[in-house]
Amino acid sequence: VQLQASGGGLVQPGGSLRLSCAASGFTLDYNAIGWFRQAPGKEREGVSCVSSSDDSTYYADSVKGRFTISRDNAKNTVYLQMNSLKPEDTAVYYCATGAPLPCAVYELGGWVGFDYWGQGTQVTVSS
């Protein structure tokens, strides 16, 4: 099982990036996929989630209306489209996968259960 996150970079405030999480060794369609981020000196934060169990999605309040998670089953890839980026979105972003439980279950459980993680991609929002 491997996850490869990519698509990070340097962008000005108000700009957009699309992160990709490509999976190998398993089928994303049968799992929950989460995007997380960790900024320097801060705890890791759950940003977004999509689950095959009920097609549920989750967005942290801080990104609602700006970020969109989507899945391309043919490419075995999950995307995170990030629009209207803010300096506070600066962080290393990780994708992870877990059993196909609803995203709400993972949120209530503190995101425990995401067992496989990608290597992270840096997103920097700065003028």
Coil, helix or strand for 5?
A: strand
Half-sphere exposure of 51 (CA within 13 A, CB side): 19
The whole-number pLDDT of residue 28 equals 84
User: How close are the terminal C-alpha atoms of the chain, in Å?
Assistant: 37
pLDDT tens digits in sequence order for the chain, 127 residues long = 899 999 999 999 999 999 999 999 888 888 999 999 999 999 999 999 999 888 889 999 999 999 999 999 999 999 999 999 999 999 999 999 999 999 999 998 989 999 999 999 999 999 9
Q: What does the alpha-carbon distance between residue 20 and residue 26 come to, in Å, rounded to a whole number?
A: 16
The whole-number pLDDT of residue 56 equals 86
